[in-house]
């Protein structure tokens, strides 16, 4: 029994994935019908056809994402939580209410069936919370040593809210930059496990569904939200750089406005990491019109997960494509894109 879900096939600690689970025969069929269909049963999945057929209309947002996080289980979640939240958040960043998700697994021979069940239960919980249906899936198995337990690929779909248009072309000088909360928690949670660090307050991943936050500001000011981006791989620094480059605009942020929890800052110092470049899985940046910025900030702060949102800077005319930070000492420095790899396999 995991989180209230009983697995329909009895699983012992010794049951493991075999190559035959990916062969398209009897064992694949059993895995799909007894585990996947049992948990995710809905009208789209039930026919177990090669694909799902669904009615769509209007502007749909589609996003695809692969998850290779190591370790697979970490403080605050597992690869299943990340896969659902991460993909649906990308859909949300298009201004779209997430509706459907597809699941693809690459399993390594020898992976524990118990662990797979626990991940599937997390996927079930996160997708139920988000009101999202799993519509189709795929499972492949590779030989021992050719994978790393489990890799997950998800594609999410959602309907863009009426009248909403999110994109770099809408970013204008003067726009304010809202950050939805304190940064670097996901990356540090993963790194502290890998490095065997222990803290008084355990550091947990911030993985969460961002749609309720996004929806709150879109409903209050659909014209005033110009651009959205979650600050995942490469952290806030990379997300801001991508916005600056795609919008052809300059960005100036103030270091003292960027929230970082003390224990996260401490861990960053020990690990030699700059929190601006560390991955988040439950934080986003919204570029909004200056006239409504304070009001939208207040709304965001009223939604769970947005309590510590801040206006961290603004869009400027000078230095298009460049992100600058006014440091705590009042000097300016360029916040460049991450070059090289800081934290492999963070998501």
Interface residue with a second copy among 13, 14, 50, 200 (CB under 8 A) is 50
Which residue, 98 or 306, is less far from a second copy as judged by CB? Answer: 98
Considering only the stretches 27-35, 110-118, 173-181, 216-224, report the one whose residues sit in contact with a second copy under the rule CB under 8 A: 27-35
- Region of 313 (left: φ > 0; alpha: ψ -120 to 50; beta: rest) is left
Considering only the stretches 165-173, 190-198, 304-312, 314-322, report the one whose residues sit in contact with a second copy under the rule CB under 8 A: 165-173
Query: Please, how many CA atoms are within 13 Å of residue 59, restricted to the half-sphere of its CB?
Result: 13
Tokens 């600050």 belong to which residue?
Answer: 231
Nearest-angstrom CA–CA distance, 112 and 235: 32
Nearest-angstrom CA–CA distance, 30 and 347: 29
Nearest-angstrom CA–CA distance, 40 and 38: 6
Which residue, 304 or 340, is less far from a second copy as judged by CB? Answer: 340
Smallest distance from the beta carbon of 201 to a second copy, in angstroms? 27
Find out whether 156 and 91 touch, Cβ atoms under 8 Å: yes
Q: What are phi and psi of 32, to 5 degrees?
A: -70, -50
Nearest-angstrom CA–CA distance, 219 and 158: 16
Within residues 225-244, the interface with a second copy by CB under 8 A covers: 229-230, 232-234, 238, 242
Within residues 126-145, the interface with a second copy by CB under 8 A covers: 135-143, 145
Smallest distance from the beta carbon of 81 to a second copy, in angstroms? 17
Which residue, 143 or 318, is less far from a second copy as judged by CB? Answer: 143
Which residue, 18 or 289, is less far from a second copy as judged by CB? Answer: 18
For residue 235, the Cα-to-chain-centroid distance in whole angstroms is 12
Which residue, 1 or 53, is less far from a second copy as judged by CB? Answer: 53
Smallest distance from the beta carbon of 319 to a second copy, in angstroms? 18
Within residues 167-196, the interface with a second copy by CB under 8 A covers: 167-168
């Amino acid at each position: 029994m995991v989180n209230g879900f009983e697995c329909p096939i009895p699983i012992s600690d010794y049951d493991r994935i075999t190559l035959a689970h990916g062969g398209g025969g009897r064992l694949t069929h059993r895995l799909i019908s007894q585990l996947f269909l049992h948990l995710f049963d809905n009208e789209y999945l039930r026919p177990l056809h090669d694909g799902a057929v669904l009615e769509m209309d209007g502007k749909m947002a589609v996003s695809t994402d692969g998850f290779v996080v190591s370790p697979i289980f970490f403080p605050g979640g597992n690869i299943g939580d990340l896969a659902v939240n991460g993909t649906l958040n990308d859909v949300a960043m298009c201004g779209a209410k997430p509706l459907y998700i597809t699941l693809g697994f690459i399993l390594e021979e020898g992976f524990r069936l118990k662990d797979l069940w626990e991940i599937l239960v997390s996927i079930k919980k996160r997708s139920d919370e988000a009101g999202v249906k799993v519509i189709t899936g795929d499972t492949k198995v590779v030989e021992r040593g050719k994978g790393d337990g489990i890799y997950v690929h998800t594609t999410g779909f959602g309907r863009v809210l009426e009248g909403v248009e999110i994109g770099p072309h809408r970013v204008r000088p003067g726009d304010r930059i809202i950050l939805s909360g304190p940064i670097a928690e996901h990356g540090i949670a993963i790194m502290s496990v890998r490095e065997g660090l222990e803290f008084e307050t355990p550091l947990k991943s911030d993985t969460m569904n961002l749609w309720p936050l996004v929806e709150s500001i879109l409903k209050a000011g659909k014209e005033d939200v110009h651009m959205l981006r979650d600050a995942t791989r490469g952290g806030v620094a990379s997300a801001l750089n991508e916005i600056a480059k795609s919008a052809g605009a300059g960005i100036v942020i103030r270091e003292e406005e960027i929230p970082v929890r003390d224990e996260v800052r401490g861990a960053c110092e020990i690990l030699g990491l700059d929190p601006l470049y560390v991955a988040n899985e439950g934080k986003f940046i919204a570029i909004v019109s200056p006239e409504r910025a304070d009001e939208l900030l207040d709304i965001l702060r009223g939604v769970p997960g947005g309590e510590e949102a801040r206006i961290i800077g603004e869009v400027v005319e000078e230095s298009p494509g460049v992100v600058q930070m006014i440091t705590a000492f009042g000097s300016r420095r360029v916040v460049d894109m991450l070059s090289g790899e800081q934290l492999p396999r963070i998501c």
